[in-house]
Structure formats: structure tokens, C-alpha cells
Amino acid sequence: MVAEAVLDNVFIDDIVLPAGDGFSLAATLYMPRAPRHHAVLISSAAAVPRRFYRNFASYIAARGCVVMTYDYRGIGGSRPKSLAGFKATMAEWADKDAACAVAWMRQRYESLPLGYIGHSFGGQALGLLPNNAEVARALLVAAQAPFWKLFPAPENYRVFALVNFGRPIARLMGYVPGRIGLGEDMPRDVFLQWRKWLMSERYYFDDPSLAGLANYGNYRHPLMALCVSDDAWAPRAAVDLLCAGFTATAPQVVTITPAEAGAKAIGHFGFFRPEHRERLWQPAVDWLLAA
């Protein structure tokens, strides 16, 4: 393990994290100089590399937490030389990659309460994890069960067009280029599974082949879901649908407006901008660290 940088009294180390099947995932640890009182895992949105969360992770670490971010297989630093034909599914991002990250943090920092932050798909992954009971407290940011018809117009039609336009591209090229509107390039079967869920009225809750759904009932700890009022990708109805799956706890859904954050817009990604350190990050992390 080699230190990459020191930022705001936080040591930042890039590491290699072995997933459940031995696949090597790229990950980054943020470690504070101060005494450590919590461990926190950040699980990314789909097709969003871990570096996107660097400022947020550094902020949490500076408050006395060991924080880890990681890239799902096929994304960012966990991408192979070629994505064409690369085997990965969105379900594997949860049950092999995210579950392994939880297990690694629990084993390495067993004396510390483990907090979980899931952005978009990262929040969807929590209920699917076979070891989600290891998480002491979870904060979901713009996490949802996004049936395409729940998106406000005209975003719903754009999403419908995007996923149906991407389907033949995925089959032809063996992956889906991010330039069609996805962010980073996406492995073929990740995209095709995601498309199937987006087209289903209850998203992945309608997928009888998704074994991880049985794990939702194992999560019994506090959960807060942040819904951003101007987020077309995670409208309140889609956030509520995801939270309804957590039948063994009582999720607290909190809606954030741009006005409350002193911003003109927040959207699906804006929560993680550094200018929201005082108004958004601080109260959210205060809640997460209350365990």
C-alpha cells in the first residue's frame, strides 16, 4: 500500500480489493490523522468512478473516519483493457463487489461501527447484500427504484430512448459507450440487466431471478434516504419504492430542495459538490456518525 497524497490531514492510499470471486477491484482508503471512531464505505452510482467522491470522502475522513471508495468491475480503475465481451452484471456489482467491500471493512476495522453511503445504484445495492446486517447505519443519496415512467417528463422519454437505443449497441459492440449519455462506458450485461429493470414497473423487485432480494429483510438498522427535489433520475416516488423494500426497518426519507442548500440546482450528482459542505454534508454525516 503506497500513500498517494495527504489532504486536509487525511492520508489517501490506493489499494487493490479482491472481490468475492477473486476479481481485483480498485479502491481508495482515506485515513485520518486523528483517532478513528467510525469506518465508512461509499458505494458509487452506476458508471461513476470512485474519484468522483474524493472530496466528500476526504471530508468524512477529516472527521475521524476511515473511509473507502471503490470501483465496480468494468468501471474506472476496475476496468479491463477491453470491455468488449467483458462478463459482469449489475447484480454482481452488489453481491460480489459491494458485499466484498463491506466484508473487507468489517474485517479490517472490526472495532469500529460501519456506516454505509450509497449513491443511486450504491443505495440499491444495500438491500441486496448478503452481509448488509454488518452495516450499523446507512445513508442513501438519490437512491431509487427507477421505473422509467416514474421519471418526470421529458426525462422519462429520454431514458426510454436511451436504454432502447443502447440495447442493439450493447449486442453489437459488446459494451455500451458512455458517450450515448451514461457517464463512463458500461459492460454489456450490466447495461442489459439495468435496462430490464428500468422497463419493469417495480424495477428489480419484479425480477424473480434476482436472489439478492431475499437479503432485504436482514437489514434492521437505521436508514436515511435523501431525495433531491430537482433530481429527475430519483423522483420521490422512485425513492419511496426502493425504501419500501426495507421491511425490517423504518427508512427516514428526507427531501432536500436547492433553496435549502443555497443553490440554483442540485440534481442527481450535485449533493457531492464541495460547496455543499456546510448545508448538506455536515447534517448528513452528523446523522451517519450518530451510531
**Pairing state between β 137-141 and 114-119:** parallel
CA angle (10, 16, 18) in 5-degree steps: 130
**What pLDDT, in 10s, does the model give residues 150-161?**
999 999 999 999
Look up the pTM and report it: 0.95
Which residue has 486536509 as its cell numbers?
Answer: 8
pLDDT digits (tens, 9 = 90+) for 268-281: 999 999 999 999 99
CB of 45 within 8 A of CB of 122? yes
Lowest mean pLDDT among 16-20, 103-107, 213-217: 16-20
Which grid cell is 120?
Answer: 443511486
Do residues 58 and 10 lie in contact, with contact meaning Cβ atoms separated by under 8 Å?
Answer: yes
Separation CA 53–CA 57 (nearest Å): 6
Residue 7: what pLDDT? 59
Q: pLDDT tens, 108-151? A: 999 999 999 999 999 999 999 999 999 999 999 999 999 999 99
Give yes or no for a contact between 3 and 29, defined as CB atoms under 8 angstroms apart.
no
Smallest CA-to-CA distance from 231 within 138, 77, 134, 123 is with: 123
pLDDT higher than 80, residue 8: no
36 pLDDT tier (thresholds 50, 70, 90): confident
* The pairing of beta strand 24-32 with beta strand 10-18: antiparallel
The span from the CA of 100 to the CA of 94, in Å, is 9
Confidence at residue 90, expressed as pLDDT on a 0 to 100 scale: 98
